[in-house]
Amino acid sequence: METEEPEYAQILELTRRLVRKRQQAPAFAAGQDPVPYAGRVYDEREVEAGVRSMLDFWLTLGPEGDAFERSLAATLGVRNSLLTNSGSSANLLAVSALTSPQLGERRLLPGDEVITVAAGFPTTVSPILQNRAVPVFIDNDPLTGNARVDQLEDAFVPGKTKAVFMAHTLGNPFDLTAVSQFCRRHGLWLLEDNCDALGSRYDGELTGSFGDLSTQSFYPPHHITMGEGGAVNVVRNPRLKTLVESFRDWGRDCWCDSGCDDTCGKRFGWQLGELPPGYDHKYIYTHVGYNLKPTDPQAAIGRVQLEKLPDFVAARIENWNYLRQALADLEDHFDFMLPTHATGWSDGSFHWQPGAPHVAPSWFGFMLIVKEQAPCTRTELAHALDRHKIGNRMLFGGNLVRQPALVQLRREYDKRPAATGHPPFRVVGDLAGADRLMNHAIFVGVYPGLTEHQLAFIADAIRACCHGDKLAESAA
């Protein structure tokens, strides 16, 4: 097309030139310029890919989407990847697929239970509730941020528990050995929320490749971005691909790609439900589904981002290590996050449980827990970082059981006559670890767009908060 239409080549060259010009940012001014906790990292290649796709004007999911799905599946080493319009939608589809009657006795029914972890992001839990199942919350280990796997057996109820669904917190893989063995022992589905962990490894294998299904988010703060967007990864079972695709695409029974007809060779040869024989297969629906697809220009951008994933992961690890080393003298004031199976950190490296699988997080953020005896509280630290325009976040929703939405569900249930029906959720233990994360944890960014100057400024601001916020005084 470029040789036939010189205007096309001109548009692309001007696009590249404009992006390069806009990315010539001035030097960072500490205390004046913001330091985001996360953000998109891109160059002219992503913008050019998006423009190319727009010029072709294939707006719905099409050839770029197909190529991205294949590349993502190959990267993770899974059978299939199916793009969605967000990571939240990916989680919804993963749980919804398990409700299909086609799964027989393993189907997730209303009132069945799904084990998850108390502290985290709500969209890991919301799909369980939206499908009228019961989330069962186990506690977090505050140092890893992940589930206390010693509570799994206490959470299990024969005949009621059908699945485990939990996230790799801030890119730190949860104990996949213990969780996988637990699921195999009891015949449970395992869903990995891999939205914050693309590129993380557990025992040498990428997270997102251990469960039956896993999910990704490509929202700008995540490891790669296509704007809004996400994916469901089908690890092994081809039947699950058909189910996820059906729920994603209106609940239809037909598996023809957009613009294709009669893939099965008998478009007018089906008789399903109470429809008349020969009803058009493209308009037969076996599930109550959604329309949760992204667009092809988004996928074009995502393909370029995926090529950069190894460099992005390396930068996140390097940035995390920089902050850990820079704050090593503040261990009296903070507990620092540890990878699963690690026992400590010193002299720039982690110490590991003997014989345990090696864990290599692709860090989403740098989390610290403010100790009770620290000279500042978590809230005071957050305010100090805000004053210096340093982006910071709590560990998402904290203990989700304390969130207004779940408190309201519990109150409504308690008001029912004799508390009829199944409860909205169930809790194992006192959730002390989740409460500690809710009350004392905070994280700052490690995304690839941060410079060493910005990382040093983050470390100085945290240290200053422990010493009367002297950094703010000097900046003034």
Which is nearest to 80 in space by CA: 244, 291, 290?
244
Dihedral over Cα of 443, 299, 199, 177: its sign: positive
**Residues composing the chain:** 476
Task: Tell me if 119 sits within 8 A of 96, measured CB to CB.
Answer: no
For 201, the token pair is: 């490894």
**Residues 6+ away with beta carbon under 8 Å from 139:** 117, 118, 147, 148, 151, 428, 429, 430, 431, 432, 433, 434
What is the number of other CB atoms lying within 10 angstroms of the CB of residue 453? Answer: 12
Residue 388 designated active-site: no
Residues 153/466, Cβ–Cβ less than 8 Å: no
Q: How far apart are CA 268 and CA 281, in angstroms?
A: 6
DSSP states of 208-277: TSSSSEEEEE-STTSSS--SS-EEEEE-S-HHHHHHHHHHHBTTBS--PPTT---TTS-TT----TTSPT
Q: Which two tokens stand for residue 139?
A: 């506690």
What would you report as the CA-atom Rg of the chain, rounded to the nearest whole angstrom? 24
The answer to whether 205 touches 162, Cβ cutoff 8 Å, is no
* Active-site residue, from 168, 222, 281, 341: 222
Active site residues: 222
